[in-house]
């Protein structure tokens, strides 16, 4: 049996409908409707409650319906012996690139300043930057990060990237290690975080990290919220280390109504929308992985249980 659990109930119901049309309604169940726990072998999920999967003694395969799998490891649902896979969809990468490009261009051309001037009915020209003069650094050169870096380079940005291992991406200078990270940060006008969330990346963007950045650089977080120390980020902006930030991911989502990010004049908040899973394209990967499980094969886009991505 295939178990479906998504934190947003309407998305879970949609996944259950899609899976039922492919494998039969009798083979699919929403988590709240399961009666025979021992029959569940496959879980299709997003943000399941902590240790929920331990209720299913025969669960052997866990499919994340997004690119991230930190929600599985953080909730302690990576049960021993179960294989885990994630979604790698070209459309996710394309959407991420478009989101980042939009933020960078809007900031380069001072659109937020002009919005403010419009509210004040102030007619005033301001200076702006051009693509050829801008260095963008990408934290994380996995599938999505590499796509973003390659496309930014292709349109003329000086593009740098940092990852655990050296990457060979046309037009992108690759950095590794602490020394490489510091060298990259010192050159950066726009820093984009697309790192996976692991124990080594949790709280990586702290006061010390931010102090290494080129003065008045701009930060974009489309990775994971727990990679950033919130108060250190606010302090860096207030001190002029950063000129501002656009944040799409947070420690707790939805972002609490009392959080300082909402009202900070130099922070833009978006509700985790930089790149949203397309059920129509992602479902084909999920179907294929379920078929592969039934044949005793490893899933596509399998996650390393050691690396946790």
pLDDT, averaged per 10 consecutive residues of the chain (309 residues), comes to 96 97 97 96 96 96 96 94 96 96 98 97 97 98 97 98 95 97 98 96 98 98 98 98 98 97 98 94 96 98 94
Residue 50 pLDDT: 95
Do the two domains 2-89+277-294 and 90-269 of this chain adopt the same fold?
A: yes
Active-site position among 224, 251, 256, 292: 224
Residue 135 pLDDT: 98
Query: Tens digits of per-residue pLDDT, 139-196?
Result: 999 999 999 999 999 999 999 999 999 999 999 999 999 999 999 999 999 999 999 9
Please say if 147 is a catalytic residue. no
- For 191, half-sphere exposure in the C-beta direction (CA atoms, 13 angstrom radius) is 31
Residue 16 pLDDT: 98
Q: How far apart are CA 40 and CA 298, in angstroms?
A: 18
Please say if 272 is a catalytic residue. yes
Active-site position among 71, 251, 272, 292: 272
Provide the angle, in degrees to the nearest 10, between the axes of the packed helices 90-108 and 111-119. Answer: 60
Helix (H, G, I), strand (E, B) or coil at 51: coil
Residue 130 pLDDT: 98
Contact 180, 209 (CB under 8 A): no
DSSP class per residue in 105-120: HHHHTTHHHHHHHHHT
Residue 229 pLDDT: 98
90-269: CATH class: alpha beta
Q: Decide yes or no: CATH 3.40.50.720 for domain 2-89+277-294.
A: yes
**CA torsion through residues 48, 51, 52, 58, sign:** positive
Residue 126 pLDDT: 97
Q: What are the sequence ranges of the domains in the chain?
A: 2-89+277-294, 90-269
> How far from 292 is each of 230, 276, 297, CA to CA, in Å?
42, 25, 5
Query: Tens digits of per-residue pLDDT, 187-226?
Result: 999 999 999 999 999 999 999 999 999 999 999 999 999 9
Q: What's the CA dihedral at 88, 94, 97, 103 to 10 degrees?
A: -120
**Which residue's structure tokens are 């799409």?**
248
**Encoding tokens for residue 1?**
């049996």
């Amino acid at each position: 049996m295939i178990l479906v659990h998504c934190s947003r109930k309407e998305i879970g119901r949609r996944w259950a409908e899609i899976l039922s049309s492919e494998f039969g309604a009798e083979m699919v169940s929403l988590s709240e409707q399961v009666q025979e726990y021992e029959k569940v072998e496959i879980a299709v999920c997003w943000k399941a409650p902590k240790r929920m999967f331990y209720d299913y003694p025969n669960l052997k395969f866990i499919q994340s319906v997004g690119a991230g799998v930190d929600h599985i490891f953080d909730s302690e649902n990576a049960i021993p012996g179960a294989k885990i896979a994630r979604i790698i969809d070209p459309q996710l990468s394309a959407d991420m690139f478009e989101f980042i490009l939009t933020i960078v261009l809007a900031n380069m051309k001072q659109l937020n300043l002009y919005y403010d001037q419009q509210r004040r009915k102030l007619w005033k020209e301001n200076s702006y930057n051009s693509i050829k003069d801008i260095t963008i650094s990408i934290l994380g050169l996995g599938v999505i990060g590499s796509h973003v870096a390659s496309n930014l380079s292709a349109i003329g940005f000086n593009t740098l990237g940092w990852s655990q291992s050296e990457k060979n991406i046309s037009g992108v200078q690759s950095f590794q290690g602490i020394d490489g990270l510091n060298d990259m940060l010192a050159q950066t006008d726009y820093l984009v975080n697309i790192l996976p969330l692991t124990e080594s990346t949790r709280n990586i963007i702290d006061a010390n990290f931010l102090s290494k950045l080129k003065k008045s650089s701009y930060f974009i977080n489309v990775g994971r919220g727990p990679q950033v120390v919130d108060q250190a980020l606010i302090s860096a902006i207030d001190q002029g280390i950063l000129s501002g930030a656009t944040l799409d991911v947070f420690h707790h989502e939805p972002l609490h109504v009392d959080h300082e990010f909402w009202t900070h004049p130099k922070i833009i908040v978006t509700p985790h929308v930089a790149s949203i899973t397309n059920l129509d394209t992602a479902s084909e990967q999920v179907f294929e992985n379920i078929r592969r499980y039934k044949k005793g094969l490893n899933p596509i886009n399998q996650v390393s249980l050691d690396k946790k991505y």
